[in-house]
Amino acid sequence: MPHRHAVRPLLSACLGVALAAACLLPVSPASAAEPWQVPDHATISLDGRGNGHGHGMSQYGAEGAAREGLGYRDIIGFYYPGTNWGTASGSVTVLITRDTSRDVVVDPRSGLTVRSLGLGRTWPLPAKVRKHGPGSTKVDVRRWRITPAPNGHSAVSYRTGAWHEWKVARGDAEFAAGGKPVTLRTPVGPVAYRGALRSATPAGSTSDRDTVNVVGLDAYLRGVVPSEVIASTWHADAIRAQAVAARTYAAYERAHAPSARHYELCDTAHCQVYGGYSAEYPTSNAAVSATGRQVITSGGDPAFAQFSASNGGWTAAGDFDYLPAQEDRYDGWTDAGHQTWSTTVTSEEIEKAYNIEDLKAISIATRDGNGQWGGRAETVDLTTAKGDTYSVTGESFRSHLGLRSTWFEITAVAPR
């Protein structure tokens, strides 16, 4: 819940009926901390800079730096000052969020196997099975599936026309094809993945399952890099910088994932976007190979290599010394709605987002002090007609209202 504190003074109240109309016109505050008066059913206009949290590397900034002649190591050195170079390998486990069902369904292919994690045993899966019913005719398998079975085991089934159980494997189970891509059937369509596709049991459950991709670190990156940058047109050194940052971020998350959790990373922007083998692109695959195993480190461990689309011309300070606030002259080579933007929100949207009634004033109370308007919003104050003021973080305001970043300024407040 938002923290309540003393109410900031509102703008001068209107006195008398004759002045009521004037109160509904946009009024510019004298300073960033002075609140804007909010009439009923108001539209709040905002101008902003950047797209994302602004910590670490700007992806558009990396492209701008590459266009100015910086190599990928220089780009990484600019955005993560004070870090060292190291290596990382091994595999990662990635939650496949697009597969929302409890089963793991894959297409048959050459070399397809299923492995029981409880037994540590692997079985090859046949391409043809005997037809059920009279006769001994063999028919093609159309799909293979893993579903939860009693006592925490896994039922392995195949589909010809209907589903038929083939084997019960002890514990969790996974499909693989010797490193070759396996096509997963999800509610939103087929997607191919390298590595293994595991039916994984979440901690504390015996009947639920999630689909988890167990894949080599650099093979994973092949599905990340083209999902994060424009691999078809961007400079090779910008794509290589992204490969290093993404590899480092994955290595850091792997090292810090809760031990009880059945995966280390997710496949969305909450971690880094991952599209599997289906997302791979030649230039990004080349960038992964050219930077093979390379990561940046701090204190001998993988750094927390955060990145976002655009920092608007100034990076935001992160939780580590190698994530400083600094001016970024490379970020502005193009805009395309990333470096600068404008939008509107309504008073009702703010009230709904924070479960408050009758918003009467809004102000950006504190900023980080870096760049235009005094920098990114750190706290936003929302005052209601009852005199309660709710102080929310700039990040919360950005998230709840769908803004591109916390670097924004209120430019007008007017009735609709």
The reported pLDDT for the residue numbered 135 is 63
The pLDDT tens digits for 81-131 are: 999 999 999 999 999 999 999 999 999 999 999 999 999 999 999 999 988
Interval 52-61 mean pLDDT: 97
Instruction: Name the residue with tokens 């994932």.
Output: 257
Query: What type of residue is 315?
Result: T
The pLDDT tens digits for 175-206 are: 999 999 999 999 999 999 999 999 999 988 87
Backbone angles phi, psi at 2, to 5 degrees: -65, 150
Asked whether residue 344 carries a pLDDT value surpassing 60, the answer given is: yes
Domain boundaries defined on the chain: 3-50+339-415, 57-92+218-333, 103-208
The reported pLDDT for the residue numbered 255 is 97
Which has the closest alpha carbon to 304: 352, 361, 246, 390? 246
Asked whether residue 5 carries a pLDDT value surpassing 50, the answer given is: no
With cut-offs at 50, 70 and 90, classify the pLDDT of residue 9.
very low
Interval 140-146 mean pLDDT: 97
Strand order in the sheet with 104-106: 163-169, 153-159, 143-149, 104-106, 182-186, 189-193
The pLDDT tens digits for 269-282 are: 999 999 999 999 99
Q: Does residue 79 contact residue 374 with C-beta atoms inside 8 Å?
A: no
Two structure tokens written together for 65: 């730096």
SS3 label, residue 270 = coil
Interval 373-393 mean pLDDT: 97
The reported pLDDT for the residue numbered 372 is 96
With cut-offs at 50, 70 and 90, classify the pLDDT of residue 237.
very high
Interval 168-178 mean pLDDT: 97
> How distant, in Å, are the alpha carbons of 142, 270, 276, 407 from that of 98?
21, 14, 12, 31
Asked whether residue 390 carries a pLDDT value surpassing 90, the answer given is: yes
Q: Does residue 381 contact residue 363 with C-beta atoms inside 8 Å?
A: yes
With cut-offs at 50, 70 and 90, classify the pLDDT of residue 338.
confident
Q: What percent of the chain has pLDDT over 90?
A: 86
Asked whether residue 21 carries a pLDDT value surpassing 90, the answer given is: no
The reported pLDDT for the residue numbered 206 is 74
Asked whether residue 230 carries a pLDDT value surpassing 60, the answer given is: yes
Mean pLDDT of the chain: 91
| Reported pTM | 0.89
More confident call, 204 vs 283: 283
Q: What is the DSSP letter of 127?
A: S
Q: What is the DSSP letter of 154?
A: E
Asked whether residue 1 carries a pLDDT value surpassing 60, the answer given is: no
Q: Does residue 227 contact residue 102 with C-beta atoms inside 8 Å?
A: no
With cut-offs at 50, 70 and 90, classify the pLDDT of residue 384.
very high
> How distant, in Å, are the alpha carbons of 16, 26, 27, 38, 348 from that of 416?
22, 11, 15, 11, 11
With cut-offs at 50, 70 and 90, classify the pLDDT of residue 34.
confident
The reported pLDDT for the residue numbered 134 is 59
| CB neighbours of residue 137 within 10 Å | 9
The pLDDT tens digits for 356-372 are: 999 999 999 999 999 99
